[in-house]
Amino acid sequence: MRQLRARDLLRGDLEGEELEEHVGEAVLTTRFDKLQAWGRSNSIFPLTFGLACCAIEMMSIVSPRYDIARFGAENLRASPRQADLIILSGRVSIKMAPVVRRIYDQMLEPKWAISMGACSSSGGMFANYAVVQGADKFMPCDIHVPGCPPRPEALIYGFNKLQRLIQGNPDPGWRRRYNAEGTEEWARDESTGAPSAEALEAYAAARRSLG
């Protein structure tokens, strides 16, 4: 039926209501920025980069069982100049942090970062002088995936959230969903117990980024 309509359209035989119905079914209108964001979110080039045990789980996402190719991200790149997503899969030591930051700075723009696992997100069990207590202390992280280590399904779920973030439709955080904004544990002044000026400024910037 569609082939017949396409033939009639090329011949100029479609007129009136049939032409309007065909145009309504075949033509899609949108804005360029939305189309561009949709294309970016479905053609992400992750970096082949692993830090610790979470990297084993990260490798599984390209296997047939999980198949991240469904979301257009199977083309992992070995060079940061050809990648636009870095997955911090494991703990980040103090010595490794400058190297990770340099790799991140060499990546293509626009670029994104996923903090995978408790160690990368908050230091995890390594509460000591040798491990960075959260990768967002030295580079921006768009998505945090909890777990020790998180399963490949959790990483793919975080990847889907990143896709929605790129498309301009980010999922609301749990504070917004449960009306708990204002309960953040920001750094506080020891003498007054009130949040510091830097913490309030960072909190306001985070709120603005969420829209």
Give per-residue pLDDT as tens, 22-41: 666 677 788 888 889 999 99
Q: Which residues belong to CATH 3.40.50.12280 in the chain?
A: 45-171
Do residues 70 and 203 lie in contact, with contact meaning Cβ atoms separated by under 8 Å? no
Task: Write out the E strands in 66-149.
Answer: 85-89, 112-116, 143-145
Closest by CA position to 77, among listed 99, 46, 103:
46
Q: CATH classification of 45-171 is 3.40.50.12280, yes or no?
A: yes
**Helices 32-41/152-166 angle, 10° precision:** 160
Q: In the block, which residue shows the tokens 């603005």?
A: 208
The pLDDT tens digits for 185-197 are 555 566 666 667 7
Mean pLDDT of 83-112: 92
